[in-house]
Amino acid sequence: MLTLKLLREDPEYVIKKLAVKHFDAREIVCKIVELDKTRRALQMELDGCLAEQKQKAARIGSLMKEGKKEDAEAVKSEVSALKDKSKELETRSAENNSELESLMVLLPNIPCDLVPEGLNSEDNVVVKTGNEIPALGSDALPHWELAKKLDIIDFDLGVKLTGAGFPVYKGKGARLQRSLINMFLDINTAAGYLEVEPPVMVNEASGFGTGQLPDKEGQMYHATLDNYYLVPTAEVPVTNIYRDVILGNNDFPVKMTAYTPCFRREAGSYGKDVRGLNRLHQFDKVEIVRIEKPENSYAALDEMISHVEGIVKKLGLPYRILRLCGGDLSFTSAITYDFEVYSAAQGRWLEISSVSNFESYQANRLKLRYKDADGKIQLAHTLNGSSLALPRVVAALLENNQKGGRIIIPEALRQYTGFDVID
């Protein structure tokens, strides 16, 4: 959520910046500015009214003590008139404010100055590439065929147990999952991220805090009996640890990492791009989350990017880093870098990480603040990134490292898997 202060002080700036996201905000922003004016006018009137009531009520108290019953009665009738007035003001103010609130959540975060112009994923800017794309023979197979041949991932069995998009990992396939999770967590904790194991179901307040609710309600699995949501990413429970928290000036940086399974309904995405591990309803991901002071958040973002890059490098996967253009940026993000690895047998780039700075947008929803050196309370900045999401890493790993029907495990991973090849 953007701050009212910004909208009040520079509405034109907000409109201009949101245009980069191809979001026409003029109408909403103007309405918000109007409603905010009304809000303050009503507030002042109500405050005055209540103050008078308070004073008079106190006077009744002292009159009663002095035994001046008649005088007290006279004041009583004055107060009840004021009471009617303040009731009415309260109702109007509540209506006004809830309309204001509902418009506020419709505005996406404003992109930062680094975000390039552009409409969709084709306009994203490649900022870096690394590791060689391997030359595979003509007999190279896509990962779903490799997985079947080697009997390490069973998609059909998942269909039997649950449905499409819920694969069963078996044998070395299962061990590979566990190894990757451990490797990622080890690298993250070595870099100073505190490992946490959060619940994988969250309540409504948490869903709202990080921006999944109300807008993306349909994307989460919802346990309606208890009104809990299965997490689409560890970002939700981990960031919400700091919901309604006021940090001290010296509590920074806050760095956390968590592994969770992630659940996504992916409603409406079927067909071409969803084969094998490319898009699942349940998948494993290790996430990093940071909370920073505003002046440090972009340095932290850079640090996170090179951190994630370090992991990808270790895995030896050909990768590229993209800076997302305005049109491809998510609702809550101020800037996002995507990591993609090249899947040689499919001949396409697969997204394996997304590193974002949300600036104060999530913090404003979360009421996540800190006390600065002057003792003033300010919104903190939140950031997060995948490090990494497993399925597409596994897809690329299988495809790029296939040799004569066998899979060669990257060096850095062997201490975790305990085996060098899958055959």
Choice between 83 and 149, CB closer to RNA: 83
With CB under 7 A as the contact rule, the residue among 58, 157, 164, 174 that binds RNA is 58
Distances (CA, A) of 57 to 54, 89, 345: 5, 19, 80
Beta carbon of residue 225, minimum distance to RNA (angstroms, whole number): 9
Beta carbon of residue 76, minimum distance to RNA (angstroms, whole number): 4
Residue 103 as a binder of RNA (CB under 7 A): the answer is no
Residue 46 as a binder of RNA (CB under 7 A): the answer is yes
With CB under 7 A as the contact rule, the residue among 26, 31, 69, 76 that binds RNA is 76
Choice between 30 and 58, CB closer to RNA: 58
Beta carbon of residue 65, minimum distance to RNA (angstroms, whole number): 7
Choice between 4 and 19, CB closer to RNA: 4
Residue 377 as a binder of RNA (CB under 7 A): the answer is yes
Choice between 24 and 47, CB closer to RNA: 47
Site map (CB under 7 A) of RNA, residues 188-227, x = contact? ----------------------------------------
Residue 6 as a binder of RNA (CB under 7 A): the answer is no
Which range binds RNA by CB under 7 A, 51-59, 100-108, 137-145, 253-261? 51-59
- What six digits make up the tokens of 213? 């609710």
Choice between 77 and 138, CB closer to RNA: 77
> With the CA atoms of 52, 54, 56 and 59 taken in that order, what torsion angle do they form, in degrees rounded to the nearest 10?
-140
Site map (CB under 7 A) of RNA, residues 350-369, x = contact? -------------------x
Which range binds RNA by CB under 7 A, 75-83, 154-162, 168-176, 402-410? 75-83
With CB under 7 A as the contact rule, the residue among 10, 31, 62, 194 that binds RNA is 62
With CB under 7 A as the contact rule, the residue among 16, 27, 30, 80 that binds RNA is 80
With CB under 7 A as the contact rule, the residue among 6, 19, 33, 79 that binds RNA is 79
Which spans of this chain sit near RNA (rule: CB under 7 A)? 4, 40, 43-44, 46-48, 50-51, 53-54, 56-58, 60-62, 64, 76, 79-80, 83, 246, 369, 371, 377
